[in-house]
Amino acid sequence: MTQLGEGVHCATIAVDDVEGINVLFFKLVDANGKPLRNIPYKLVKSGASAEPTHLAQGKTNSKGKTTVASTTNDEEIDFYVTWAKLKMNKGFLKD
Amino acid sequence: MPLKQPITAKNDQPRKTQKIVCDCSLLWSLAHQFTYLRLSDEVADNEYKLVDLYSARAKRIAATYARFYLETEDGGDKDKIGRYYWMALGAFASKTVACLLDSVQLQGMYMAFKTVPRGLGQGNMWLFTDIAASHWLYNNHRNNFDKGMMCGENRDAKTLEDSVKAITDDLPWSKESIAAIKYFKPSADIIKGFKLIKKFEEETDDETIRRHQLAQLIAIADHEQGAILQPLIYDNPDFACWADLQRKISYKWTKWALPAYEITFTHACDIDDEQLKSVAPDDMIVEDLQSRMEWISDVAVVFHDLMLTKNTYMAQELQTIAGGVNTPDAPLVY
């Protein structure tokens, strides 16, 4: 029995254990269905602005998957691959 | 084809995974991004600025080639050192370009004529985009390079992801460069070069390995000279005119004002030891591919011999060149 003041571990709840709650992921694969890992991405509610577009939320894992994109039933999510921004000086003799 | 973004999915099932199928466009876009970020400084989170100074770009390019050879680049494998043989020669060559760009002669010329430094800067930068991107892809997405989606044979700058294509199209000299090199369509020579890299990886006999290395060096040299540098700079009438003028002046007067065509196998710009350099013959017609390749074949033999007889020295020089990967830009670019 747990004594008063004793530390307790947090419960680990697998997403499959939660009945009635939908969970959405994205997964990047190549044309042969093999996962593409380490791809930077951004997830936003569908229709919302993705600015700043160059800042990633994360990278796809070894299975090509994102983190949980949504736990709200029937919610729509937009997925973007993110790319760095590049500035160039186009002054005299520089191109 | 590039991804049509955004890709939207509805969370309407207990555990839904929305698959997004990508092709070579995404992988080549990552590879292109690697090349132009290497020539840039980070100024904010994932925001970069391209360095202006041609010689700083050339030093970073030389460093990147050296890092690929030394297997210290992104996705490298120390157990496979020696497979990217051309990269070692390319490091010395790009270092030489940096020295030329820094030389008094060229700085003087820079103020009066733009043709030569521009030609060197343009050729070096777009060759780098071509060759370093291929090696990065081989290092990081091997399963889709010469197997899987076969991206090594399927490259097209027209189908890069939108953001990367916009940047690539905006890079210096892009208008006259990308079309000239056929949108990076792989040549038979570069495909052969990568097949020889694979053979190197599978071979265990030292003699055969060395044969593969030299053959790979020649195959990629054929590609870079014939498919990239020839259309990029040597077919440019202004550059050819300048090269012709240089020959006439060189024959009549001293060469004090003109940089010699030579490559030195040292991290420094020059070296007295004649064994560590190769100077082009006076009768070389630099803008003529065949004439130039005759000298480059000689360079390859000298380099190959040095890599065997002075391997420790060559590795040390490459390590030093690799240290230039973050060469700073100049506060004021002339």
Give B135→chain A minimum CA distance, Å. Answer: 18
Give the minimum alpha-carbon distance from B274 to chain A in angstroms, rounded to a whole number: 36
Q: Which of A73, A72, A71 is nearest to A15 (CA)?
A: A71
pLDDT at residue B318 tops 90: yes
How close does chain B come to A12, measured CA to CA in Å? 17
- Please state the φ and ψ torsions of residue A42, each to the nearest 5 degrees: -140, 140
Where do we find the tokens 């030299």?
Answer: B214
Interface touch A69/B114, C-beta < 8 Å: no
Tell me the whole-structure pTM to 2 decimals.
Answer: 0.91
Res. B144: pLDDT tops 70? yes
> Of A73, A83, A28, A24, which is closest to residue A50 (Cα–Cα)?
A83
CB distance B141 to A29 below 8 Å: no
A85-87 vs B47-50, strand pairing mode: parallel
Torsion sign, CA atoms B319, B139, B264, B312:
positive
Task: Give the tens place of pLDDT for each residue, B5-47.
Answer: 899 999 999 999 999 999 999 999 999 999 999 999 999 999 9
Is there a cis peptide before residue B186, judged by omega within 30 degrees of 0? no
Residue numbers of the domain that contains A69 = 1-85
Domain count of the fold of chain A? 1
**What pLDDT sits at residue B256?**
46
Q: Are B74 and A38 in contact (CB under 8 A)?
A: no
The amino acid at B328:
P
Beta strands A23-29 and B15-21, pairing class: parallel
C-alpha separations of B25 from B4, B230, B324 in Å: 12, 26, 30
Q: B5 to chain A nearest CA, in Å?
A: 6
How many CA atoms are closer than 13 Å to the CA of B37, on its beta-carbon side?
Answer: 20
Q: With 60 as the cut, is the pLDDT of residue B251 above it? A: no
Q: Do B7 and A78 touch (CB under 8 A)?
A: yes
Q: What tokens does B333 get?
A: 């670019």
Question: Does residue B294 lie within any of the structural domains?
Answer: yes
Angle, CA of B118, B121 and B122, to the nearest 5°: 80
Is residue A52 situated within a structural domain?
yes
Query: Picking from B63-77, B100-114, B220-234, which range would have the lowest pLDDT averaged per residue?
Result: B100-114
Domain presence at residue A95:
no
* Inside any domain, residue A69: yes
3 state SS of A9: coil
Full residue range of the structural domain in which residue B58 is found = 24-326
Give tens-digit pLDDT for B153-201. Answer: 999 999 999 999 999 999 999 999 999 999 999 999 999 999 999 999 9
| pLDDT at residue A88 tops 80 | yes
What CA–CA distance (Å, rounded) separates B167 from B177? 14
Q: Are A87 and B41 in contact (CB under 8 A)?
A: no
B66 falls within a domain: yes
* Residue A65: partners with Cβ closer than 8 Å, 6 or more residues away: A25, A26, A27, A35, B17
C-alpha distances (whole Å) from B170 to each of A60, A84, B176, B267 are: 29, 14, 11, 32
- For residue B216, the 8-state DSSP code is H
Q: Which of A29, A39, A80 sits opposite B6 (nearest CB)?
A: A80
- Residue among A31, A69, A77 minimizing CB distance to B149: A31
How many A-B residue pairs are in contact by the CB < 8 A criterion?
Answer: 156
The ipTM, to two decimals, is 0.89
The rounded Cα A20 to chain-centroid distance in angstroms is 22
From the list A22, A85, A91, the residue facing B11 with the nearest CB is A22
The alpha carbon of residue A3 is apart from the nearest alpha carbon of chain B, in Å, by 37
In a domain, A9, yes or no: yes
What is the domain count for chain B?
1
> What local confidence, expressed as pLDDT, does residue B145 receive?
97
Which pLDDT belongs to residue B30? 98
Q: Is the backbone of residue B236 left (phi > 0), alpha (psi -120 to 50) or beta? A: beta
* Inside any domain, residue A93: no
Residues 126-145 of B with CB under 8 A from A: 143-144
Determine the residue type at B7: I
Do the chains contact at B23 and A24, CB–CB below 8 Å? no
Q: Does A79 touch chain B (CB under 8 A)?
A: yes
What is B244-308 written as a DSSP string?
A: HHHHHHHHHS-STTS---EEESSSSS--S-GGGEEE--TT--TTSHHHHHHHHHHHHHHHHHHHH
Q: Is residue A62 part of a domain?
A: yes
Alpha carbons A59 and B252: distance in angstroms, whole number: 62
* Predicted pLDDT of residue B240: 81
What is the rounded distance in angstroms from the CA atom of residue B113 to the CA atom of residue B109? Answer: 5
* Cβ-defined contact of B11 to A75 (cutoff 8 Å): yes
In our burial notation (b when 16+ CB lie closer than 10 A, e otherwise), range A47-85 reads eeebeebbbbeeebeeebbbeebbeeeebebbbbbbbbb
CA-CA distance, A14 to A23, in Å (whole number)?
A: 11
- Put simply, whether A48 touches B (Cβ < 8 Å) is no
Q: Does a structural domain hold residue B6? A: no
Residue A10: per-residue pLDDT: 53
Sign of CA dihedral B197, B60, A56, A61: positive
